[in-house]
A and B are shown apart, each in its own frame.
Chain A
Amino acid sequence: MSATAEAVFVAEPFAPAGDVVIDCNVEKIFYGDFLAVRDSVVPIEKNKITGFIGPSGCGKSTVLRSLNRMNDLINVFRFEGSVMYHGQDIYAKKVDPVVVRRYIGMVFQQPNPFSMSIYDNVAFGLRLNKFKGDIDAKVQKALERAALWKEVKDKLKNSGLSLSGGQQQRLCIARAIATEPDVLLMDEPCSALDPIATRQVEELMLELKKRFTVALVTHNMQQATRVADTTAFFSVDISRGGRTGYLVEMAPTQQVFEDPQEQLTREYVRGEFS
């Protein structure tokens, strides 16, 4: 985008090679009167990790949270556009957000286990979905996938909150994947973790994408290069007095970092601003 352009910049649409699980087409996202995000088309490809990067306030978390209607918890939130999930718009009037969130799971920035035992935390979603099979086996499987089983197998009855921060985050991941949701949204899942725990979670993500589809918001560009197959770069437009985020460029991760098409992307990935 050239700085002098009068026309509103809209990113080139990105067409992934594989199947698209969620086709997110944000026209406008408002918080009350405040326009938070505009004009962002973000297709999420099946069995891939889609990374969202960009400076603070660029709306990447807002877009991610729109994908399973988490933003509906905020009263003044308003979404214009569509999020097509297997051909259905999750923002259609008849759709209950509760259902959407069961298919599209989420891992948050802060580890947030429930104040109940480790086992109950992981079994929570299974019980919620009235799972009739072997809960023990599913809990073990989820904890194994989250690389936590070895550390907690002898203390499943202990409170989830008695674990360390990194363990709590992996517990939250286990809780989210125990029900085998279609898509896993991860909102800066490593920002509260130390480098060792971060590495564990990253390895876990690479493991998870074999079975699930992952969308990942991250502040850490190295993390995006390490794990994301596709990267969406968002920026924030402060030219008209607001702080409106928008998609600048979306492409395979390697291209975004090595051969970005947009000036803004180039400056950001080289660390030349913010």
Chain B
Amino acid sequence: MAKILQQPGSSSTITRAPSSGEFLGDSIFRAVAYSCAMLIILLVAFILWQIGKEAMPAVGEHGLGFWTGTTWDVNKGQFGVLPEIWGTLYSSLLALMLGGIFGISIAIFLTQDFIHDRLATVFRTVVELLAAIPSVVYGLWGIYVLIPLIRPVAQWLHEHFSWFPPFGTDLSGPGMAPAALVLAIMILPTVAAISVDAFRRIPYKVKEAAYGMGTTKWEAILKVMLPTASSGILAALVLGFGRALGETMALAMLIGNSNQISLSLFSPANTLASLLASSFPEAGPVEVQALMYAALVLLLITFIVNVVGLGVQQYTMRKFEGK
């Protein structure tokens, strides 16, 4: 800092320039903040590089066929993850639909004067507690409670609507439906909490404007509040989807780990994350390389989803909020 203006222009003032110590503190704080941010970028780059290095032999050997192959057979040396990609996306989309609808509904219920503020806080805390339950507990709950619970329903749906592909098979135990349901519950707190914030951020004057136009409560919520909160809600959905894509333990326990591509909600399937979790412990060096490749595929999918989600969010913000 140049020594300009170090002395005040008038002697009758109690203002003074910040001391060099204060400037130093400023510089140190900035340096720490920068290095923390850089560290995160380096960490991500390091993880990518490490996984990429481990996966390289498999990438070279299987190439793009890895993406479209449907068998995972260590003995034959055949590795393909198409069923896992399908299972990951299908289960996550189902969970996003369910969790999204419930999460946004909860957010509306908690923020739009349906219940007293204090009660809303209690509700919100309970919903957020769902996020604190360990994944493995969800898995156990799914096996011992959820599967027996939905089996009669699944049976009935299959018997009466078997022409409809999602109900095309019978539920024999683990499968897509219980996995997607548990996944929906797991992403619910994320979607709900972030949507609640999106609704809370809407200024009171917007609500006034809506009612001032003569809207009923539902018209105000659906035609004004929801569009106004839409960019925040989209962020909630993207985060929820990201979480669903990467969720491992509960899915490994519930999805059935079977490499097949089926629209049926009741047939077992597999996801990339649960493939990794269930195969790693007994994998030999060749399979480990293939698994690393699968991890890379999962990373790529998550990355694409986040980028696309961010793009959609930016677009809505520009369209609705003029930013």
Contact check, B322 vs A162: say whether CB atoms are below 8 A apart: yes
Which residues of A sit under 8 angstroms from B212, Cβ to Cβ?
Answer: 68, 70, 101, 105-106, 108, 176
**Residues 86-102 of chain A: 1 if any B CB is under 8 Å from the residue's CB, otherwise 0?**
00000000000011111
Tell yes or no: A5 within 8 A of B by CB.
Answer: no
User: In the assembly, what is the distance between CA of A129 and CA of B223, in Å?
Assistant: 13
A and B contact pairs by CB, cutoff 8 A, 27 listed:
A68-B212, A73-B211, A98-B214, A100-B214, A101-B211, A101-B214, A105-B212, A105-B214, A106-B212, A108-B212, A110-B205, A112-B205, A112-B209, A114-B209, A114-B224, A114-B227, A114-B228, A115-B206, A116-B227, A116-B320, A117-B319, A124-B223, A125-B213, A128-B223, A159-B319, A163-B322, A176-B213
Tell yes or no: A160 within 8 A of B by CB.
Answer: yes
Chain A minimum-CB-distance residue to B116: A75
Residues in B206-264 with C-beta less than 8 Å from chain A: 206-216, 219, 223-224, 227-228
Most chain B CB neighbours (cut-off 10 Å) among A99, A105, A117, A128: A128
Most chain B CB neighbours (cut-off 10 Å) among A73, A100, A158, A175: A73
User: In the assembly, what is the distance between CA of A100 and CA of B211, in Å?
Assistant: 11
- Point out the residue from B206, B211, B227, B321 that lies within 8 Å of A70, measured CB to CB: B211
| Contact (A128, B205) CB under 8 Å given A114-B228, A160-B322 | no
User: In the assembly, what is the distance between CA of A108 and CA of B208, in Å?
Assistant: 8
Tell yes or no: A161 within 8 A of B by CB.
Answer: yes
Tell yes or no: A142 within 8 A of B by CB.
Answer: no
Contact check, B209 vs A159: say whether CB atoms are below 8 A apart: no
Interface residues of B, Cβ cutoff 8 Å to A: 203, 205-216, 219, 223-224, 227-228, 318-323
Contact check, B209 vs A128: say whether CB atoms are below 8 A apart: no
| Contact (A115, B227) CB under 8 Å given A159-B320, A161-B322, A172-B209 | yes
Contact check, B214 vs A114: say whether CB atoms are below 8 A apart: no
| Shortest distance from the beta carbon of A166 to any chain B beta carbon, whole Å | 15
User: In the assembly, what is the distance between CA of A112 and CA of B203, in Å?
Assistant: 9
| Shortest distance from the beta carbon of B273 to any chain A beta carbon, whole Å | 37
Give 4 closest A-B pairs by Cβ, nearest first: A162-B322, A159-B322, A102-B214, A101-B214
Which residues of B sit under 8 angstroms from A98, Cβ to Cβ?
Answer: 214-216
Which residues of A sit under 8 angstroms from B213, Cβ to Cβ?
Answer: 101-102, 105, 124-125, 128, 175-176
Contact check, B211 vs A128: say whether CB atoms are below 8 A apart: no
Which residues of B sit under 8 angstroms from A100, Cβ to Cβ?
Answer: 214
Contact check, B322 vs A158: say whether CB atoms are below 8 A apart: yes
| Shortest distance from the beta carbon of A177 to any chain B beta carbon, whole Å | 11
Which residues of B sit under 8 angstroms from A172, Cβ to Cβ?
Answer: 209
- Point out the residue from B206, B216, B219, B323 that lies within 8 Å of A114, measured CB to CB: B206
Which residues of B sit under 8 angstroms from A159, Cβ to Cβ?
Answer: 318-322
User: In the assembly, what is the distance between CA of A117 and CA of B318, in Å?
Assistant: 10
Which residues of B sit under 8 angstroms from A102, Cβ to Cβ?
Answer: 213-214
| Shortest distance from the beta carbon of B212 to any chain A beta carbon, whole Å | 4
User: In the assembly, what is the distance between CA of A176 and CA of B210, in Å?
Assistant: 11
User: In the assembly, what is the distance between CA of A153 and CA of B254, in Å?
Assistant: 57
User: In the assembly, what is the distance between CA of A28 and CA of B211, in Å?
Assistant: 24
